[in-house]
Every structure is written in C-alpha cells, then in structure tokens.
Amino acid sequence: MMVGGELVLAALVILLALLLTLVLSHFLPLLLNPKAPNGSFGWPLLGETLRFLRPHASNTLGSFLEDHCSRYGRVFKSHLFCTPTIVSCDQELNHFILQNEERLFQCSYPRPIHGILGKSSMLVVLGEDHKRLRNLALALVTSTKLKPSYLGDIEKIALHIVGSWHGKSKDKGRVNVIAFCEEARKFAFSVIVKQVLGLSPEEPVTAMILEDFLAFMKGLISFPLYIPGTPYAKAVQARERISSTVKGIIEERRNAGSSNKGDFLDVLLSSNELSDEEKVSFVLDSLLGGYETTSLLISMVVYFLGQSVQDLELVKREHEGIRSKKEKDEFLSSEDYKKMEYTQHVINEALRCGNIVKFVHRKALKDVRYKEYLIPSGWKVLPVFSAVHLNPLLHGNAQQFQPCRWEGASQGTSKKFTPFGGGPRLCPGSELAKVEAAFFLHHLVLNYR
C-alpha cells in the first residue's frame, strides 16, 4: 500500500511541477518585459488565440480587437498561437514592420502551416531564398502580362463560366440556385491553371487538381491536428497528391523536349536556379495565390454590389459603354481595362471592406523601440490590416461600402490601404487578380441582373 501511495504522490508532484512550469513559462515574458505595450495574456497554453480567431463579418473588427483596442489602445500585447505577441492596429507601425522585413522583423508563420505549404514555399522561406523566389515570381508575372494571349485566355474562361449558367435558371418551373462563390473559384482556378500549367478547364487532370486543391484549402485554415480523417491531415495528403501530379506534368514536358505553350512551367523548366522540389513548390504557391485571393475578391465585389443598386448601375453603364465601341465578338484589350475606372474603385473598396488578408505573421529579430513602444526580441508581431482599413479616422464612414471614395485617389497601396501586404513580401500577382476580377465582372453585369 505504501508503494502505491508513494507512486500517486510522485505523480501528483510531477503534475504540479508541470503545471507550475506551464504557468511560469506563460507569464514570465510579462515580468521580463515590463516596457512592452499594455495588454493581457489570457490562460496558459491557449492564451487568447481562440478569442482572436473567433469568426466575424469581414467588414468589422470583431469583438476581440474592438475590446482590446478600447482597453489598451491600437497597439497591445497578447498571447496568440502559443507565443507572446504584439498586435498592431496602427497604420504607422504596420508600415514600419512591413518595410523592415529581414532587418528588424522576419516572416514567422505557425509551424503547422509549414507542414501544409512545404519547406520550400515562398510564403515561409526567409532571406535570400525568399528574395530569389520572389524575383522569379515577378519575372513570371511580367512575362505573363506581356503575352498576347493572356487577356484572351482570361476572357474565354469568363465567357465559359458565365455562359454555363444559361438554361440553369429554371427546371420544371423551379428556380435553381447557382452558388456564386463556387463559380468564382472555378473561374479563378481555371485561369491560374491555364497560366501556370497550360491546362484547359475541360481536361480531366484540371478537375483532379481542383478537387485536391479544395481539400488543401480547407485544411490550411483548420485546427492543426494530424489525425487521419481531420481536415489538416486531408490537406497534407492533398498537397502530396498535387505535388505528384505536378511532378508528372514536369516529367512529361521534359520527355517531350521543347515546349511552346508559353506558360509559367516553360519558364520554370528553363531555369537552373531552382531544384525540382522548389519548382513544384513554386507551382503550388502560384496556384494558391492565383486561386484563393482572386476568387474571394470576385465574390466580395459581387456581394457588395448586390447591396448597392446605385454602384451596380454605374458599373453596368461603364461596361456597356466599353462594349458599345467593340464588334460583336471582339475580345477586350488592355486599353479597355484602363477605361474601367469605376470598376477599379469598386474593386479597391471591396478589398478595403472585405479584408481578404486580415493580418500577417512576423517575429521581432531584436528588441525594437518604436515611438513609445518596446517590441521584445523573439516575440510574434501581428500587423492587422483590417483594423487600418476599417479605421473611421482614416476612412470616413469606414463601415460603408463607398467606391466613390477612391475617385482621384491613388490606386496603389499606401500606409492606410494594404490589401496585398507590403514591403519585400508584397503580393507579386496583385494586378493580375484585379484584371481577372474586372474581366469577369464585365461579362457578369452585361448578361445577368
């Protein structure tokens, strides 16, 4: 009996020691960094992560940020993603963080994200590796925009998607519902697969990649628990299948010798700077970047226009004017795109209100003093873009969708408008996403109410 009692006592002591260690490790950064911004750390281990990630409308801050900004100011400390964190809702500090990439701050996504994206992904690699991959991405984007067939490919796919809805409006007197978000995903995916891999929407391999990509996307934002059957595990497996498919396409191109498709893959195969693993990862990054943000942007534009009859009418009038000066089946040109001024206002306002990328993950490489704030070395730093986009002091009537606010304003990024990030990690394909959204919208407003 004594032996059993001693074992129980020893187990209790070990458990208490573990709990004490957990509590101390959680709250010790508070004691060691008294000059950090005000804030709270929440419970040990979980911190305030669950509250921070609680779903809310994208054109609102959510209860967590509203509560903490009112209590602690627009820069505060918290404990998120198992790490002491500085949260910035301040436009000046956000700009400072983005512009000091690799000098004072470094990209620092949670480890499970690496498991899905892969260690060679441009989203997670650092330093010279990131610079090398991003330069290649910029070169590919530039070459894509210069291709004569680029705009034509986008328009053909838009016509294919929009045209597929005809005849689906009624079935034996009943109205059929078309899930627009799914249609936007089909369009964006078809465009990026065509540009990157030279595949058309009708090819069986395109549908196979899309199916795996949907599983991949669901797991990317799921709880990172690798247990068979969970979304995270399915995402890791889906990435492996996509990688295998892409490797097969690469081998097929190599065995066929020279290719004149003029897509990303042709350029990648001619490059000696990347390993095969990096080339596959680069293709996945391109698919991810061209698929998710673009489809969400198109969906956001339609969502907000659906609530504003006046703005919809202005967009429709603009596109009717462009179409009236063209032959019946003549494709849109780059000059037509430049004429879509109000459409660009709508796209920018959808990006501001919709907040597709709410925040990014960074880490302080050293103690950083900014104004009255101390950001301790090793702490995570989260610049929150949505808090700046929805700040009424920077954007009048910030909660309202008002495309006219962009008339006469700069169409690029600024300290108070960073929908595609900023600094050395500014999204290289941001302009391509806007072109796709504008062309899709052209055929949507001219063919449907």
SS3 at position 202? coil
User: Helices 276-305 and 127-146 meet at what angle, rounded to 10?
Assistant: 60
Beta bridge mates, 374: 369
Q: Is 427 annotated as a binding residue?
A: yes
217: nearest Cα among 239, 201, 188: 239
375: helix, strand or coil: strand
Q: How many Å apart are CA 417 and CA 349, to the nearest integer?
A: 10
Angle between the 341-354 and 430-447 helix axes, to the nearest 10 degrees? 110
Q: How far apart are CA 136 and CA 140, in angstroms?
A: 6
In order of 180, 211, 296, 347, 448, the CA distances from 186 in angstroms are: 10, 11, 12, 19, 18
The CA-atom distances, in angstroms, between 288 and each of 24, 65, 223, 368 are 40, 28, 19, 33
> 170 by DSSP, 3-state: which?
strand
Q: Is 307 exposed, middle or buried (0-12, 13-18, 19+ CB in 10 A)?
A: exposed
Q: Give CA–CA dist 248/256, Å, rounded.
A: 12
Cα end-to-end distance, the chain, whole Å: 81
Please spell the DSSP secondary structure of 246-315, one letter per residue. Answer: HHHHHHHHHHH------SHHHHHHH-SSS-HHHHHHHHHHHHHHHHHHHHHHHHHHHHHHTT-HHHHHHH
Annotated binding site: 427
Annotated binding site for heme: 427
